[in-house]
Structure 1
Amino acid sequence: MIAKPFNLADHCVGRAARATPDKTALIVVGDANTPEQAERWTYAALDLAVRGVAAGLLAEGLVAGDRIMLRLPNTSDYALLFFGAISAGLVPIPVSSQLTEGEAAFLLDDSAAAAIAQTGPLAIASIPSGCKIIDEETIPRLKASRPLPAHADTEAEAPAYMIYTSGTTSRPKGVVHAHRTALGREPMHHDWQGLTADDVMLHAGAFNWSYTLGVGLLDPWACGATAVLYNGPKHIEVWPKLINAVGATLFAAVPSLYRQMLKYCSLTPSSLPTLRHGLAAGEALSPAVLEGWRTATGREIYEAFGMSECSTFISNHAGMPIRPGSPGKPQGGRRIAILPLSDSNEPLPAGEIGLLAIHRSDAGLMRGYWRREEEENQVFRGEWFAGGDLAAFDEDGYLWYYGRADDMMNAGGFRVSPQEVEAALAPCPGIAEIAVGEHRVRDDVSVIAAYVVRKDGASVSAEDIVAMAGKRLAAYKCPRQVFFVPSLPRSANGKLLRRSLNMAAISP
């Protein structure tokens, strides 16, 4: 049982501000060539700013438990609004700046948010009645507010933040995390990151990504370390330069970025002197990339596997033999099992493939899905949460992943529902049927592809479909290839055989 009260913002920012007020908490670099001009925050200044934003949000009329959507550019304001909302007992909903206005509007309506923080070209024109708008004029006022004397006395089980993830239907769903999730992340610090107060963590993601908010900010701050984020031009050669400029000891990214660094950067064992190791999550780390990184830099990449509902809970770490192709073993203190595909909740023995499950007692596990009781009932099985990932443990306890039971796709670390993409593209003139799936272009690289059956006499082109996707979907959800097929593969009862789509493809 967690002592009450417990506030995630106080745990991640307030504690370090009291213990090491003058230590650098956050560095935001805009130009890798002039790191001395970077934006820098001490823990004392960060804590004051977070409590100031919290006070400002409450002064706007928001009350504890209200949800606030964050649709902002990649600046420190994103972090201040996110942690400021949590400090006040509000529930921030970070969303990607890549979402189209239509996608963002759906999330705003679905979440029943009491407010939306939005600026510039990211502003949504159609705002539900009663939803407060926090814009370019409001945010400076929030930051100038007199700080709350302390972070709100929230309960550990109270909602802290909500993130949207694609579901098994065409509707994204909100994953609600409690304040206690900060404690649920502690096994990651020990059994994946090797994170201590002496570390400098550079994360390659943007503020609005849950991977960045968690691994890039929440984790280093919970340990009293220094977090570094970059919001300048994202050319690949910038990352080695940044690692050296800020003295990063840990570097977190998706595996595809490591692959690009190997291809385009001049890496040697002496080129990254401060880096202890890399961290990878969001998509599978291929053995080729791992071996290439080892050869080029003389350092390891430690992979982790997780999901939006619990962040990472399987990982490799320093001192542990790595088996290429496996993301590792369960982190210390986690209760992880493989359950049968049937209704039985009896864990399977090593070597048998089933549903990867997390025990309900895990402090990092979500409170539940926002207004998705039916889907919530589908993933909780007795004392276990099973989100639909197929996996098996070997005799030595290493996990081996076998994909999604519900055919979810992975696009550069983002989980994407094929049904969501299909629903967006189906209205395109000239399409009779459409299915979406992953198309493997190399052994270690796959992309989202659309498989299209044209209407009789229609001349719809791949360019037409890509153009519609660009208007209705975030860039990472858009198909990278379009195949025109005479028919879609289906079972005898008419069910789409998604895993047979590649066999049906012909040249576009």
Structure 2
Amino acid sequence: MHATPDASPPDPRRPPPRFNAARHCLEANARERGTKPALILVGDGARSEVLTFADLDRAVRGVAAGLLAAGLTPGDRVMIRMGNDADYAVVYFAALAAGLVAQPSSPQLTAGEAAFLLQDAGAAAVVAADECALDPEACRCRLVLRPADIARLKAGPPLERYADTAADDPAYLVYTSGTTSRPKGVLHAHRTVWGRRPMHDDWLGLREDDVVLHAGTMNWTYTLGVGMQDPWARGATTVLYNGRRDPAVWPALIARHRATLFAAVPSLYRQILKYSDLAAHDLSSLRHGITAGEALSPQLLAEWRAATGTPLYEALGMSEISTYISSSPRVPVKPGSPGRPQTGRRVAILPVEGEPEPLAPGETGLLAIHRSDPGLMLGYWNRPDEEAAVMRGEWFTGGDLAELDADGYVWFHGRNDDVMNAFGYRVSPNEVEGALIGHPDVQEVAVAERAVREDVRVIAAYVVPKPGRAPDPDDLLAWCADRLAAYKCPKTVVFLDALPRTPNGKVQRKRLAAEQP
């Protein structure tokens, strides 16, 4: 699937035909702002690592040249299985700079989960931290690079020029949980970085002199995009943190680095309010916070503004298109709504079934964005059936149910499928169920989100034990922890005599949420 419609006039939103995402973010900055900090990576205490734009450009081109010299060719996938350190960013942008396809992944994945992604993508190489386990069989006949190798490549001869890629050439492949039991790859083109430009003003309120503190880890597309690609596209500075996860650290980092924008998920803002002494820190540099990944409750919005005097601007998006609905300094907030379509975005509400004719304001249907949007994915990796399922004529539908009000604001009404949202990560219940059903004491299992507070939801496992068995909840949770990334694991287990089902035998997940442990 390509986002360029046939026989259309030139679109000013589209990038030049020859376009490289890494060059767009780094080359001009290295020339015009070479001594300016691009990335400040902060650890525990006073320790920090600073890369200027010149440093970053040089390291990226060194690794890019080394990857090509090792025998990789344009279009080869490079899986990145590293911790939250500067080399993650360097390898990611180096792959793009060389015309390769970056495949970011989480270090939380088990060796088995990582092996599936490696094999499904047909990756030619994997770059892994020393502590990240790799499946030897999955890595057979593939180039494997560790931190010492990356250090050697950074110091080697640099790539003379960034790859002359087409805007529609593949740039990166991210895996997301869908409605199947296995994650699916979402393939993006170099033009996706250009397609992010509407959010710079209509969500982030981003300026060249900004210092953006992002609370996410580098493997997450939220961090790769808002934490690096967007600031660097405007010449701004990024601050990331790789120390221990303590909510109280974020106000201290804002004050220490004079951050002007802070990006996080709503659950972290909630934790900061609960566990931090905001009055002990000088937050006068902060213009506003930005948030995505989960719905922002009106209560949290009001509490944050009361405590800090700064607003929160929310955005709604997905792996396939990133964020395209948002509020911002120039799009007034309506509590409970993520905002309006960003400038230049063609957004509509379509009927769940039938002809893809946009519905009138106030009617609920599938939230859709026009396939001409330059930020839209190229398609699902080797999943033509799933790709066809999300296309409705000229529209892409990601499964969100919503309505538009008379002012153009979007009101979210959940999902049309069963995909869960665990602290900003999309998680397939099928994948979690597939891990739990292998436990010797489990007869049946279903997984669903359960509300623990008004604005907090967690993954719960609803288990029917085998006759005569009495599994321990902690044992089941440990079983999951050995097979799934931490963010995919259930937080609670509920035992049932039987799962609620429809007359046709389908599990009724909405009824599960009413079951109490």
**TM-score category of the 2 structures, normalised to the smaller one:** over 0.9
Aligned to 2:75: 65
Identity %: 58
Shift of 1:500: 1.0
Aligned partner (choices 464, 469, 473) of residue 480 of structure 2 = 469
Q: Aligned partners of 1:39 and 1:506: how far apart in 2?
A: 47
Q: Aligned partners of 1:255 and 1:220: how far apart in 2?
A: 21
Aligned partner (choices 308, 317, 321) of residue 297 of structure 1 = 308
The one-letter code sitting in structure 1 at the alignment partner of 2:511 is S
Gaps of at least 5 residues in structure 1 are: none
Structure 1 residues 371-450: aligned runs within 5 Å: 371-450=382-461
Structure 1 residues 184-199: aligned runs within 5 Å: 184-199=195-210
Aligned partner (choices 125, 145, 150) of residue 135 of structure 2 = 125
The one-letter code sitting in structure 1 at the alignment partner of 2:29 is A
Aligned to 1:12: 25
**Structure 2 counterpart SS, 1:207:** coil
Aligned partner (choices 30, 40, 53) of residue 63 of structure 2 = 53
**Structure 2 counterpart SS, 1:448:** strand
Aligned to 1:96: 106
- Alignment RMSD, CA only? 1.2
Aligned partner (choices 127, 130, 134) of residue 145 of structure 2 = 134
In the alignment, is residue 221 of structure 1 matched against residue 232 of structure 2? yes
Aligned to 1:348: 359
Aligned to 1:485: 496
Q: Aligned partners of 2:213 and 2:139: how far apart in 1?
A: 38
Contact 2:15–2:194 (Cα < 8 Å) also in 1: no
Shift of 1:23: 1.6
Aligned to 2:84: 74
Shift of 1:497: 1.1
1:288-308 per-residue CA deviation (whole Å, 9 max, x = no partner) reads 111100000011010000000
Shift of 1:496: 1.2
**Structure 2 counterpart SS, 1:453:** strand
Aligned to 2:121: 111
Shift of 1:128: 3.8
Is the alpha carbon distance of 1:506 and 1:48 closer, same or farther for their aligned partners in structure 2, counting shifts above 3 Å? closer
Contact 2:198–2:343 (Cα < 8 Å) also in 1: yes
TM-score, normalised to structure 2, is: 0.95
Is the alpha carbon distance of 1:497 and 1:208 closer, same or farther for their aligned partners in structure 2, counting shifts above 3 Å? same
Is the alpha carbon distance of 1:351 and 1:30 closer, same or farther for their aligned partners in structure 2, counting shifts above 3 Å? same
Gaps of at least 5 residues in structure 2 are: 1-13
Is the alpha carbon distance of 1:398 and 1:268 closer, same or farther for their aligned partners in structure 2, counting shifts above 3 Å? farther
Aligned partner (choices 336, 353, 362) of residue 325 of structure 1 = 336
Contact 1:392–1:400 (Cα < 8 Å) also in 2: yes
1:5-35 per-residue CA deviation (whole Å, 9 max, x = no partner) reads 210000011121122222211111113x42x
**Structure 2 counterpart SS, 1:137:** helix
Q: Aligned partners of 2:205 and 2:468: how far apart in 1?
A: 60
Aligned partner (choices 290, 315, 319) of residue 308 of structure 1 = 319
Aligned to 1:44: 54
Q: Aligned partners of 1:321 and 1:417: how far apart in 2?
A: 34
**Structure 1 counterpart SS, 2:314:** strand
Q: Aligned partners of 1:347 and 1:151: how far apart in 2?
A: 42
In the alignment, is residue 21 of structure 1 matched against residue 34 of structure 2? yes
Q: Aligned partners of 2:476 and 2:42: how far apart in 1?
A: 37
1:317-340 per-residue CA deviation (whole Å, 9 max, x = no partner) reads 014321111100000000011110
Aligned to 1:271: 282
The one-letter code sitting in structure 1 at the alignment partner of 2:109 is L
1:201-237 per-residue CA deviation (whole Å, 9 max, x = no partner) reads 0001111111111100000000110011111122111
Contact 1:27–1:41 (Cα < 8 Å) also in 2: yes
Shift of 1:269: 11
In the alignment, is residue 249 of structure 1 matched against residue 257 of structure 2? no
Shift of 1:268: 4.2
Contact 1:25–1:46 (Cα < 8 Å) also in 2: yes
Q: Aligned partners of 1:472 and 1:344: how far apart in 2?
A: 42
Shift of 1:50: 0.7
**Structure 1 counterpart SS, 2:247:** coil
Shift of 1:123: 2.8
1:351-377 per-residue CA deviation (whole Å, 9 max, x = no partner) reads 111111110010100000000111000
Is the alpha carbon distance of 1:425 and 1:250 closer, same or farther for their aligned partners in structure 2, counting shifts above 3 Å? same
Q: Aligned partners of 2:59 and 2:439: how far apart in 1?
A: 47
Shift of 1:429: 1.1
TM-score, normalised to structure 1, is: 0.97
Q: Aligned partners of 1:12 and 1:485: how far apart in 2?
A: 53
1:80-116 per-residue CA deviation (whole Å, 9 max, x = no partner) reads 0000010000001100111111111110111100000
Q: Aligned partners of 1:247 and 1:213: how far apart in 2?
A: 21
1:407-441 per-residue CA deviation (whole Å, 9 max, x = no partner) reads 11010100000011001111111211100000001
Shift of 1:275: 0.4
1:22-69 per-residue CA deviation (whole Å, 9 max, x = no partner) reads 2211111113x42xx421111112111111110011111101000010
Is the alpha carbon distance of 1:141 and 1:440 closer, same or farther for their aligned partners in structure 2, counting shifts above 3 Å? same
Q: Aligned partners of 2:398 and 2:188: how far apart in 1?
A: 15
1:450-497 per-residue CA deviation (whole Å, 9 max, x = no partner) reads 011112111122122111101111111111111011111111111111
**Structure 2 counterpart SS, 1:468:** helix
Contact 1:269–1:296 (Cα < 8 Å) also in 2: no
Contact 1:69–1:116 (Cα < 8 Å) also in 2: yes
Contact 2:175–2:184 (Cα < 8 Å) also in 1: yes
Shift of 1:347: 0.7
Aligned partner (choices 178, 195, 212) of residue 223 of structure 2 = 212
**Structure 2 counterpart SS, 1:108:** helix
Contact 2:320–2:377 (Cα < 8 Å) also in 1: yes
Aligned to 2:169: 158
